[in-house]
Structure 1
Amino acid sequence: MAKQLKTPTRTLTSSADKDAPLKEDIRLLGRLLGDVLRDQQGDAVFEIVETIRQTAVRFRRESDVQAGAELNKLLKKLTREQTISVVRAFSYFSHLANIAEDQHHNRRRRAHLLAGSQPQDGSVACALEKLHDAGVSGATVRKFFKDALISPVLTAHPTEVQRKSILDAEHDIASLLAARDLPMTAKERAENTERIHSRVTTLWQTRLLRYTKLTVEDEINNALSYYRMTFLRELPALYEDIESEIAERFPQRASSASREQPLYIQMGSWIGGDRDGNPNVNGDTMQLALARQSTTILEFYLEEVHALGAELSISTFLAGVSPEVQALADKSPDTSEHRTDEQYRRALIGMYARLAATARAQGATVLRKEIGSAPAYENAAEFSSDLQALADSLKARHGAALIKPRLASLLRAAEIFGFHLATLDMRQSSDVHERVLSELFKCAQVESAYAALPEEKKVALLLAELDHPRLLYSPYVDYSEETNSELSILRAASDIRKRYGARAIRNYIISHTETVSDMLEVLLLQRETGLLRLDTDKDSVGQLELMVIPLFETIPDLRLAATIMEQVMAIPQVRKLIAKQGHLQEVMLGYSDSNKDGGFLTSNWELYKAETQLVEVFNNAGVKLRLFHGRGGTVGRGGGPSYEAILAQPPGTVNGQIRLTEQGEIIASKFSNPEIGRRNLALLVAATLEASLIPAPSETRHAKKLAEFESVMGELSELAYKAYRNLVYETPGFTDYFFAATPIAEIAELNIGSRPASRKATRRIEDLRAIPWGFSWGQCRLLLPGWYGFGSAIELWLTQGDNKAKRVATLRAMLKEWPFFATLLSNMDMVLSKTDLAVASRYAELVSDKKLRNSIFKRIVNEHERTSASLTLITGKKERLANNPLLARSIKNRFAYLDPLNHLQVELIKRHRATMNGGDADDRVRRGIHLSINGIAAGLRNTG
């Protein structure tokens, strides 16, 4: 928020300072925010903010101790109204800085392309080059894409702090900022600046926060905005990019080219179908989610078909049409004599009318009325077939050049998104299924105490019921609300599949899978609601509509995962169902609860072991394994760069099949900018390609080395687990410390999610959801779940042998030769770079018990020092992010603007808790806290 500065025309070719355009953009946005602040709040407030900004910069970047004292003094004497203004100003600056950084990433990528640089790691071009160099054939690559499934799954979680109105304004600012890289006259540049100023003013006058609790409907609508911004156009464009890259690297004779278009990237969603711990999700929300999804994609198709009709003005006097297109034109309601020779237009007018009828049947409002009526499409395949007929006709009649601009991408979109847009997953906790079946068994007089049965008897009963032709459910029995609700949800899934197509819902995920019976229960519930239909032939099993997917989350669950799947796949009835699924079975692994259970190192290691064991079990069973990674935004919840994370997976765990969650503010970070969104999708494809097809070293020496590395990790994990558990679960008063020294209570109040912050109404860490657990540690700048226990483990392990130098050499070899360990340390390096003990100490002062505060905070500080020292010992780098200078500079620049937010958040929390204890809570103070939460989350970018 600097004072008035001139903004000279930038150049992309300056080699003196590649980041100069970024700095210029940040200065511009800061200046405009300052102008808005002065205009909206007055000169006095502007001067306060500017003084705080300059002091914070001096303190952070110049290590000026005196400036730190001045900053503290400045912030403490602010009035309540001034505090809110300062918090808002720095929060908005975090958002604007994100926009500038995203634009700079796009700028640098374009500069590389213009310079003809070698493809960068993470690009599909680079992945294909690596495969070519490794001797992988084009046929193998094409088979990979034919069989692959790469699915990002958007989920709603209480760290999503962006409102759609804010997203829209920021999207406009990003577009205007990007336009400044083009040549502009002085007048054009001034007009561009005025428009950015206007949108920054809009931001200032728009609420960052919701004053009412977020509903599931809000979450659905928020997620759909990313489809309009990015996925609807960028995903088809990415397919086209990849096809071009493959054709260039692995040329194929035209005669051998297949017309079949594989759908290897498909979008998924949990929003509206994930009812684990969320009482607000039910059958109605599932119906709502699909209705909104369908409306979104049909509106897009209507816009594109209308535009295509305007473009394809081809006259049959000059170019003919195929019989198929002529048939479409003949069915069109358009009878205008002006278009008697424009058969493509007439065909598209008819297609538009059919789409409009389809949209109305789904409850959508069609804004541009069709010329006449036509029957709705039965399914998306019919629509795709009509588009393909247009493309074939054009291609056969010298019109191939007319296909690519719009028709090709629309055809691809129709294949990718259908009429459902994204696959909606269902999720529920295993204990709910057990309660529902207990009631059904009891009312049917089959078993009066199902839940109390030992596991063996549960399995036997469930298998017997699966073979039984009669249902347990009776329409003449009054069941509990929970049972009726769960059964109605499954019936809603059946209805949705019939209405929107089988891809609309095809997965049922079981949280807290701990036994074989947990999976069999969901099969039986599907049988009860018509989703599993048994064949009359005793030697076969009928159709299973929803794949039953276990979710292994906690450390004990991960350790049992392979055993449970081995037992499940040994059941003949289940094996027949898996065969119906193409001999493929998905398993979901949760990163969040395992971290909260056992800490960063142990969580990662137990996930690695579980994956390795699952590969062996699935290979022995002859079943293809697809892993679904439940990753969060923060490193403590499995976050970090997706490309490196996929490459770090154990051998044999990817094989062209991967699904992974995209959560919280990470969705906005990755997909609110279309170009960055396409690049993030490309990263997933590139990583999956490399992890699946690049041959792993097979020599005996490599196997022995890997075994040695894994043995060391096992020892380190055990030591780290003890250190973490000792602090979090065995230290008296730690729960009180956590609830006092972090804004967890204030986060729970914030209207940023439809799901409660805790599974039960307790203050136990065990019952707290992993998301607010990690988010809270991020807010107070400790990010403890991303590093705690590592230092103790390394320090103790190094003292356990006679030769410390040899042990250090082993750790360094692990870093150099083992992608899993390298990624682990890289992610921890990033977390430590964002950790700030000085800021965290201010949050510790919120703990009223001085003895407890000093005792626990001292332990945390000591472990931080051990962890930093251990990381330096292994990497040889004292400075954090030494191998990622771009991110290091970004974080360093941001800290100066985060410091005031953290300082003020502590002050506001003190005031808020004081008034809460006095029974007179101040809404303005609460609002200030929530604004600071927003700004800090935006500044750190991956704390959810």
Structure 2
Amino acid sequence: MLNEQLKEKFRQVVENKFQIYNSLFMSLPYDKMTNIGMLLPFLYEESKAGYEAGKDPLQIVEEFFTKHTELRTEEQKLELLFKIIQYIERQVVLFDSIEDAAFSKLHSESDAGTVMQLHERSVQENKLDEIRAKMKDFAVRVVFTAHPTQFYPNAVQGILHDLRGAIMEDSVTEIDTLLQQLGKTPFVNKEKPTPLDEARSIIYYLRYVYYDTIGELYKKLKNRFGTKDYVPNPNIVQLGFWPGGDRDGNPFVTADITLKVAEELRGNILKCYYGHLKNLRRRLSFRGITEILEELSQQLYHSIFHSEELISAEEILSKINAAEKILDEYHNGLFRELLDDFRDRVKIFGTHFATLDIRQDSRVHQQVVDSIISKKSDLNVENLSSEDKLKWLLETDIVLDPAEFESITKETLQSVINVKEIQKKNGERGMHRYIISNSDEIKDVLYVYAFFKLCGYKVEDINIDIVPLFETIEGLGNAQDVMRQLYELPLYKKHIEKRGNYQTIMLGFSDGTKDGGYLKANWEIYETKEHLTKISEEYGIKVIFFDGRGGPPARGGGKTHDFYASQGKTIANHKIEITIQGQTITSVFGNKDQAKYNFEQLLTAGLENDVFKNSAKDLAENERRLLQELAEISFKKYSDLKSHPMFVPYLQEMSTLQYYGRTNIGSRPTKRGSGNELKFEDLRAIPFVGSWAQLKQNVPGFFGFGFALNEMKKSGRFDEVKALYKGSDFFRTLVLNSMMSMNKSYFPLTSYMKNNRKFGGFWNILNDEYELSKKMMLELTGFEMLQQEEPLSRKSVKIREKIVLPLLSIQQYALMKIQKGEGNTEAYEKLVTRSLFGNINASRNSA
């Protein structure tokens, strides 16, 4: 019944509005885009009917030209296709804006996973004190990453923001004007944005969405759970930041860029305080207080525009406290709540706004180590073991000058030196983590410790958490041995004691899925967390897991609340930390309503896990064995696919993989390594997952899962799997997230490939596994359709897929032309690259 009500509400506030405003949109006089709105439905119908009839994109698009246009030359046809892409991109923005504007009407303050629902449940079950106790030992951190999947330029982002507001007000005149602006605003950056541009783009959200969102969420927590004797920790919701600090495989991120981004973060939070204080002073216009707040305002102003005139969070709080004292003594505490709110924001955001992390690949660190030893010792690096190198680094008492070195060594050492300056200006919370990608051994962590020592830091001044990132299946397997060795090492034990006996460990879903397949990666990470929890507890260390989860299920994303709420008591739960990137920022945390709702979902998932007992969160021994079996069977199937001689060539020749690097969407290369030969291990997770998504095949989100389920059925054990689905929240979440990936797949689009002499057999392997996975999961869940229990998500996907189908036809048409070597190859390559934008935006993270 509730599902039917939600579907009806969605129809009213999303579908109907889209039809109304889209009809308005169709009649607008866009530059060189006349009549596109009338032609587009014909291309959609030709595509829909064509794929159902088994036609290929080449036939479909050519028949569209013949039946519905009088265009005959290749140049005319290409011009029309580019115009259609531009038109569809704007339709996607319109739908995004309408759906986002409807968010508060489709979600309630009392939904499952909200603060209100958590409070009501706590009262009913007499658990309020336990929730308060857990809040002291818990936090959520959302980390914005530097991954270049944000396709909307800043100008379009601004229109999207205004359009959403106009739709909420049903202001047809303003919507009409904004759609006209949208029609004339370029959707493509002329040049690739620099890491500083990327940082500024995300700082926009920090300043105009999260400053208020997190402040209001904290106020809600205080009102719901605070007492005379208890105030929730203001650090319970935190922001992290990678643009400008993540130099893993990105040569454009330099030590100087990191300093500039830190300065941007500091400057923008001070601007937030300055604006907030301006409003506060309008109310606190009392003698004694006016003077204090005026002085604080001047200090903030000077600190914003003169970076040498630093102001610390402690100084700001001192002024607020002085004002509060006068307010209480002489003015009856009038407007006290406004002053409290301002103080809470300062406690939450400090002078850092978001914690800027450094990240680098362990293999780069190895090059740096070799370079240092070669230059500063008489030792022959070629003859040294890792242990010998580490011993020399830790025992030598020299202090290095970055100027003595070149390229990456110079940059790495300068980055380490800059940590002290960033902490001085932004506070220690401004930068306190160094993350090492592809961590496999103890040396990967200790090299970073040695870099600080070699840059002149005294042991007591190394105020940094060293965070290993285990991402491949092999790395995950080594994780517990590596951490045990570290915990037993006196030098590291002393360091970790200084850091409060907390150890953050990052686990990479994206590369794990790429390496091991969907089911194996998720189970491997789950078990790794359990092992690391146990080892950490043995040594009296609180472990914090930082998940590189991305957006789509193929990158570890999906329904995040359900995922974290499904983790049982065998996994440490001191903090939930996740990365979000690209379209996840706009689609999940893009405005105040969405951001507040989704921050609450994360927060309550972690709090509920410890306080409310639920047997479905804890895996019994027989359930573990079954999950292990399923993971191994699916891993074997996925590994066979990965080792298929056509795997990399298929992606290279039949997908959009090579076109990601040509888009002006981000400063980051699409692969690690500089060689011309494409190697599987060098593929970055985003273009890897994204290319499958552009093909509408979403292989990393399901491949091997259906095969594993079917193997169980063939051996007469399917009832065991059904019992696992009903009894385990973790397994159920995996199934539902995988179904989300499959629901965004559409194999008829590429069915022409089955006749390809080189790749036909490979395409059939993919298609067969998709059909098998769909069949087995429907049988397992008892659903009649994918995402049956998620009506809003399903309807949203359906409309988006309808909008984007003509775009997919155009992309595949261009790829087929390129493969056949027909016509203007350069123009068709541009067509493929251009069509990436709308496809990604419409799919909201692709899979």
- Cα separation, partners in 2 of 1:66 and 1:270, compared to 1, 3 Å: closer
- The residue type equivalent to 2:844 in the other structure is R
Task: Single out whichever of 414-423 and 505-514 deviates more from structure 2.
Answer: 414-423
Q: Within 2, Cα distance between the matches of 1:24 and 1:860?
A: 37
After superposition, what is the alpha-carbon deviation per residue over 1:165-213, rounded to whole angstroms, capped at 9, x for unaligned?
A: 1111000010111123xxxxxxxxxxx2111111111111111111212
- Cα separation, partners in 2 of 1:561 and 1:99, compared to 1, 3 Å: same
Check the 8 A contact 2:97/2:160 in 1, yes or no.
yes
Give the deviation of 1:135 after TM superposition. 4.6
**1:354 counterpart (299, 305, 314):** 299
**2:743 counterpart (818, 830, 833):** 833
SS in 1 for 2:845: coil
- Tell me which residue corresponds to 1:214: 193
Q: Does 1:754 align with 2:667?
A: yes
Q: Within 1, Cα distance between the matches of 2:114 and 2:578?
A: 19
- Cα separation, partners in 2 of 1:257 and 1:588, compared to 1, 3 Å: closer
- Tell me which residue corresponds to 2:251: 279
- The residue type equivalent to 1:772 in the other structure is P
- The residue type equivalent to 2:281 in the other structure is G
- Tell me which residue corresponds to 2:559: 641
For structure 1, the residue ranges without an aligned partner over 5 or more in a row are 1-12, 114-118, 181-191, 315-341, 364-375, 535-541
- Tell me which residue corresponds to 1:323: none
Give the deviation of 1:605 after TM superposition. 1.1
Give the deviation of 1:613 after TM superposition. 0.6
**1:487 counterpart (391, 405, 413):** 413
- Cα separation, partners in 2 of 1:42 and 1:859, compared to 1, 3 Å: closer
Check the 8 A contact 2:401/2:455 in 1, yes or no.
no
**1:308 counterpart (268, 280, 283):** 280
Q: Within 2, Cα distance between the matches of 1:773 and 1:928?
A: 20
Q: Does 1:566 align with 2:484?
A: yes
Q: Which has the larger radius of gyration?
A: 1
- Tell me which residue corresponds to 1:932: 835
Q: Within 2, Cα distance between the matches of 1:636 and 1:941?
A: 13
**1:413 counterpart (345, 364, 368):** 345
- Tell me which residue corresponds to 2:435: 509
Give the deviation of 1:131 after TM superposition. 4.1
Question: Superposed, which structure 2 residues align to 1:464-863 within 5 Å?
Answer: 465=395, 470-471=397-398, 473=400, 478-531=404-457, 533-534=458-459, 542-695=460-613, 697=615, 706-728=620-642, 730-760=643-673, 761=675, 762-799=677-714, 801=715, 804=716, 807-841=717-751, 844=753, 850-863=756-769
Q: Does 1:124 align with 2:115?
A: yes
Q: Does 1:177 align with 2:90?
A: no
- The residue type equivalent to 1:784 in the other structure is V
After superposition, what is the alpha-carbon deviation per residue over 1:503-523, rounded to whole angstroms, capped at 9, x for unaligned?
A: 111000111111111111111
- The residue type equivalent to 1:710 in the other structure is R
- Cα separation, partners in 2 of 1:454 and 1:890, compared to 1, 3 Å: same
- Cα separation, partners in 2 of 1:91 and 1:452, compared to 1, 3 Å: farther
Q: Within 2, Cα distance between the matches of 1:782 and 1:220?
A: 32
**1:239 counterpart (211, 218, 239):** 218
- The residue type equivalent to 1:307 in the other structure is N
SS in 1 for 2:238: coil
Give the deviation of 1:936 after TM superposition. 1.2
- Cα separation, partners in 2 of 1:193 and 1:602, compared to 1, 3 Å: same
* CA-based RMSD: 2.8
- Cα separation, partners in 2 of 1:462 and 1:242, compared to 1, 3 Å: same
Check the 8 A contact 2:139/2:603 in 1, yes or no.
no
- Cα separation, partners in 2 of 1:176 and 1:47, compared to 1, 3 Å: same
- The residue type equivalent to 2:175 in the other structure is I
**1:150 counterpart (140, 147, 156):** 140
Give the deviation of 1:395 after TM superposition. 4.4
TM-score by length of 1: 0.83
Q: Within 1, Cα distance between the matches of 2:610 and 2:814?
A: 50
After superposition, what is the alpha-carbon deviation per residue over 1:788-811, rounded to whole angstroms, capped at 9, x for unaligned?
A: 111222222333x4xx1xx22211
Check the 8 A contact 1:22/1:101 in 2, yes or no.
yes
- Cα separation, partners in 2 of 1:383 and 1:871, compared to 1, 3 Å: same
Q: Within 2, Cα distance between the matches of 1:196 and 1:598?
A: 47
Q: Within 2, Cα distance between the matches of 1:312 and 1:121?
A: 39
Give the deviation of 1:396 after TM superposition. 4.8
Q: Within 2, Cα distance between the matches of 1:631 and 1:911?
A: 36
Q: Within 1, Cα distance between the matches of 2:48 and 2:172?
A: 26
Give the deviation of 1:697 after TM superposition. 4.4
Q: Within 1, Cα distance between the matches of 2:741 and 2:391?
A: 48
Q: Within 1, Cα distance between the matches of 2:484 and 2:102?
A: 49
Check the 8 A contact 1:75/1:904 in 2, yes or no.
no
- Cα separation, partners in 2 of 1:53 and 1:432, compared to 1, 3 Å: closer
SS in 2 for 1:288: helix
**Identity of matched residues, %:** 25
TM-score by length of 2: 0.93
Check the 8 A contact 1:737/1:852 in 2, yes or no.
no
- Cα separation, partners in 2 of 1:403 and 1:30, compared to 1, 3 Å: farther
Q: Within 1, Cα distance between the matches of 2:292 and 2:780?
A: 66
Give the deviation of 1:55 after TM superposition. 6.0
Q: Within 2, Cα distance between the matches of 1:42 and 1:589?
A: 47
SS in 2 for 1:586: strand
SS in 2 for 1:266: strand
- The residue type equivalent to 1:353 in the other structure is Q
SS in 1 for 2:620: helix
After superposition, what is the alpha-carbon deviation per residue over 1:363-418, rounded to whole angstroms, capped at 9, x for unaligned?
A: 8xxxxxxxxxxxx45412111221233344334555545243x5333222211112
- Tell me which residue corresponds to 1:5: none
For structure 2, the residue ranges without an aligned partner over 5 or more in a row are 72-76
Q: Within 2, Cα distance between the matches of 1:25 and 1:212?
A: 35
- The residue type equivalent to 2:154 in the other structure is K
Check the 8 A contact 1:491/1:529 in 2, yes or no.
yes
- Tell me which residue corresponds to 1:292: 264
Give the deviation of 1:751 after TM superposition. 1.2
SS in 2 for 1:493: helix
**1:20 counterpart (12, 25, 43):** 12
Q: Within 2, Cα distance between the matches of 1:838 and 1:15?
A: 27
- The residue type equivalent to 2:666 in the other structure is G
- Tell me which residue corresponds to 2:74: none
Check the 8 A contact 2:289/2:327 in 1, yes or no.
no
SS in 2 for 1:267: strand
